[in-house]
Amino acid sequence: MRAGASAGRRGMAEAKAAALAPGARNPLGRGVVYAVLAVFAVFYLAPLVVVVLNSVRTAQDIGATSVIGWPRELAFDNFSRAWGSYCIAQTCAGIAPYMWNSFLLVVPATIISTLLGALNGYSVALWRFRGDNWVFGLVTLGVFLPEQMKLIPWVLVLRELGLTNSISGLVLIHVVQGISFTTLFCRNYYVAIPAELLKAARIDGAGYFRIFWRIVLPLSPPILIVTVIWQFTHIWNEFLYGVTFTSGPQQPVTAALIALSVSVSEAPQYGVQSAAVLLAALPTLLVYLFGGKYFLRGLTAGAVK
């Protein structure tokens, strides 16, 4: 009987909690919130839906109707043309070489900027020195500076180094630009590492780099995943530096997509161009698809700490 009474009280408590839930108190308000969110979602996703539909439509189908419509027949050859045979700036090789340029840019820039940011964050968070807060502030100042005001200084730097119109020049730009973000992320994560760990390591004779490699770095996967995903997607999607400092076959894919839209004298091939846009966006979509949950975990861990 005691068990039955306890179960009855527990059931009443659960019913009362359900009755006091926000949705139960005001179902109309909850419905309004969902309706507003649905409207915003439709507006946000509409361009993506149009691009996806156009990527499998023929040029005749789009020309006979408009860029907004369902495909009358599926034209999957748009993707093969966009990848390997469509003409971009008098080069009929599709977006394949420009995708390769983007990979040659993104991979080293992401790795180097993440490693340097981890070292910087480790230095200003765990190796306190006079003026460390000023150093941290100056490094992270780059987070708030507009990209346009950096164009002229970068023109001068790349010209002096002989890196104009090259992937190496873009790698240098994004490494330097990315250090501000990676340092900020890593420093805010490392401040939660107990100082006793470093003291014990110093007593055992470990130095700066040994502590970093043996103690700090093994504790860093959550924040390193955040910085890698952030840098990869930011560098891959970046347009301003790519179109300003490179041209022709040296351009990354984001800059080449603009050339694709104006490089032919025939009627616009919206189907091929839409397929090219989806192919260019695929790497970042895959990164978020497979690494999104780790990105959120890393951000949450850093925020809580």
Whether residue 113 contacts residue 235, with contact meaning beta carbons closer than 8 Å, is answered with no
Angle in degrees, CA 279, 94, 109, rounded to 5: 60
The confidence score (pLDDT) of residue 28 equals 77
- The Cα–Cα gap between 222 and 174 comes to 22
- The Cα–Cα gap between 300 and 189 comes to 10
Give me the residues paired with residue 88 across strands. Answer: 91
Torsion of CA 197, 199, 201, 204, to 10 degrees: -140
Domains, the chain, ranges and CATH? 2-84 (no CATH), 96-304 (1.10.3720.10)
The confidence score (pLDDT) of residue 301 equals 63
Render 252-299 in DSSP notation, one character per residue: -HHHHHHHHHHS-SSS--HHHHHHHHHHHHHHHHHHHHHHHHHHHHHH
Nearest to 202 by CA among 124, 130, 133, 126: 126
User: Tens of pLDDT along the chain (305 residues)?
Assistant: 444 445 555 555 555 554 444 545 677 778 888 999 999 999 988 888 988 988 888 878 887 777 787 888 888 888 888 887 665 555 556 788 999 999 999 999 999 999 999 999 998 888 877 877 888 888 888 888 888 888 999 999 999 999 999 999 999 999 999 999 999 999 888 888 888 888 888 888 888 888 889 888 888 888 999 899 999 999 999 999 999 999 888 999 998 887 766 554 455 678 888 899 999 999 998 988 887 777 777 666 655 54
Tokens of 285: 């979509």
Per the document, the length of the chain is 305
Encode pLDDT of 210-260 as tens digits: 888 988 888 888 899 989 999 999 999 999 999 999 988 899 999 888 776
Tokens of 168: 């190496």
Q: Let me know if 258 is exposed, middle or buried by CB neighbors in 10 A (0-12, 13-18, 19+).
A: middle
Q: What are phi and psi of 90, to 5 degrees?
A: 65, 10
Nearest to 95 by CA among 251, 239, 199, 266: 251
The set of residues, in sequence order, having a beta carbon less than 8 Å from that of 90 and lying 6+ positions away, is: 263
Number of C-beta neighbours around residue 106 at 10 A: 24
Whether residue 105 contacts residue 235, with contact meaning beta carbons closer than 8 Å, is answered with yes
The confidence score (pLDDT) of residue 63 equals 77
In sequence order, which ranges of 94-213 are alpha helices (DSSP H)? 96-126, 132-140, 151-161, 167-190, 195-203, 208-211
Angle in degrees, CA 196, 199, 203, rounded to 5: 140
The confidence score (pLDDT) of residue 179 equals 92
Q: What are phi and psi of 141, to 5 degrees?
A: -60, -30
Measured CA distances, 291 to 151, 229, 269, 279, 303 (Å): 32, 8, 34, 19, 18
The confidence score (pLDDT) of residue 83 equals 87
